[in-house]
Chain A
């Protein structure tokens, strides 16, 4: 694997932002996502560790801001008990939106029958969908009795790290099955913008960042056969149809794979036969399967020990 890449978020004007893209290409970094809103542009990118100062200098020259985006390349499932007005748009949307600030891609998942105490349950399909992500954030309500005694049954079958948000101040150990609990984000019917609430959201971002770091460390012990960012770049080069996808993140990076928003039936062979300079194709390095989400393509990259080599 070549060098170490650090995740950064550039925010600045659209004017001359192409210079950043060019510089990054010269340095061998990767653009993960580019969002243009009016005259502003947000670039989420991976920069080679030793060249960060070059990008920083250029961004200062363009009067932009370069920030560390700790959740870059992490796909998070924000799971709310249902998609009823009790949970939406606040607080589940606020949580999902806030997690995007440090670079994460979030998907909101409303369970069909997640509400209630005795009656709440999740379906096999929903569990598989959640397991496609890197981290699951469950947004629960205001009662400690529910969070401690009743809701954890929704965690059954979830194999990825579980983060729980709720109203009361609880310790993580008190919530069975959770890897992290963040309080002060319970059920609310107004936008989360008071000091206490935004502080809680900041804490959530910080703690989820730590969870992501733990996964990264775990992965580093047995590295992936290929960097997800490199697969992303190759898909952009070899499957030009991806440029016609209007979704904000046509290729969504995950810590150990990617979600490609193309129809599985039409494109899976092209993706499997993606060629790398080293002379291998993607199907040797990764499992390409049908995603539970909208018939998309899900790529899970195998580890170096599985494949025998890494590129």
Chain B
């Protein structure tokens, strides 16, 4: 079967790739596109380590066919920092040691950014529910949630 030719925007860059019809977006990100920041934890949508945004919507890239990206705006962890300047969430995760092994971190960051883009002032319980689909195998949830809340507070302060 012929490969499919897909045109999409990945982290703001017009991008073209070839994929098999049954390949997932995660396969293509990590393979031909070389964007290995998105991790494959479970491959079944349970762990959130492969989180990306698709036209601004948080999704698991393992639960999406690469072919579905045609014409879409895809954002991954690689597009989060601006050049050498880390996104406030990335900086805060470092400052507050909100990571241990790091496998869940890209997904946590992408998911947390999607939350703060929608809701700049989430409660702790809103953060916990929003991130319920992002599993941390080191069980470091508390520091992650605190870092997200701290970042939100700092970003609110910055826009004042």
Q: Do A and B belong to a common assembly?
A: no
Residues of B participating in the A interface, judged by any CB pair closer than 8 Å:
none
User: Residues of A at under 8 Å CB distance from B?
Assistant: none
